[in-house]
Each structure stands twice: as structure tokens, then as C-alpha cells.
Amino acid sequence: MQQYVRAKLHGIRVTGADLNYHGSITIDAELCREAGLEPLEFVEIWNKMSGARISTYVLYGVPGSRCCILNGAAARTCQVGDEVIIASSEWGSAADVIARRPKVLTFKPGNQIDERIVYRVFRNAAGELDMAIETDAGAPLDVRDLVG
């Protein structure tokens, strides 16, 4: 068993930080559902601006609000406007990750979805694991476009 990416929000902007809330990250429920993030699911959060890396759990926010609010101790790791990457993972075999096809959403300012991406893992002609990154239109992307 290995740990694999299950869903990811890449470049979503922090809209709030509430130190006095009891903990977690509150994310627009619409965005969570589209990416496949579930309520109370543990996620890793990587702040692109400061390099801070934390782990917490997801609370669904108001659908359509485009919110991304770090709560409790997590609020100390960011500033409103910071871009963060939020990723969930799961344990499984190569067959599981081949079947999963993790979804990635990238964002424009205002937390509007920019791109919908799928990570597709497969076995190539030699039987080795390989992967492709596809947009919602099915167009392949160069992996280097997503580094960061």
C-alpha cells in the first residue's frame, strides 16, 4: 500500500483566518464536492507564499461563497490573499490509483475555477506505471505546467 493524491485545490486564495474558531479549514462546499473533498476529511495545506505546511480537516462552507478560511491554529500560517494548495490522499495499490483518476481544480482571483484537471495513471506498453495530466476538455498538459 502507498499513499496517493485523491483530490487537490491548487492556488485557491485564502479569504479568511479565524484564530478563535475551534480549528480546521472551511472551504466552499461546491468546490469541495467538485474536487471530491469530503466533510471532516484530513488534508495537507501548503502555502505558496510562505512555504508553511500544515495538516487539518475540511469543514464545508456556504456553497457558492468561494470561501477558504483557515481556523484555529491554522490561521497563524497564512494571510488573507495567500495562495494555498490543498490536497487529500488515500492509501491503496497501483490498481486503486489507476481507478481513482484524482481531480485537481486550479483557480483565478476570486476563487473562480480556472481549470479542471485529471491525473490519469495507467500501465504503458511495457507494463510500467505511467501518467497523463488532462484538462476537462481531455487535452493533455505538460507536467511542468503544474509545478509550484
Distance, CA of 58 to CA of 27 (rounded, Å): 7
Report whether 72 belongs to an annotated binding site.
yes
Report whether 75 belongs to an annotated binding site.
no
Please report where in the chains the cell 510500467 appears, as a residue.
Answer: 128
Report whether 77 belongs to an annotated binding site.
no
Strand order in the sheet with 53-61: 16-18, 68-71, 24-28, 53-61, 42-47, 83-92, 2-13, 103-108, 112-123, 129-135, 140-141
Provide the annotated active-site residues. 24, 57
Report whether 56 belongs to an annotated binding site.
yes
Annotated binding-site ranges: 56, 72-74
Annotated binding-site ranges for substrate: 56, 72-74
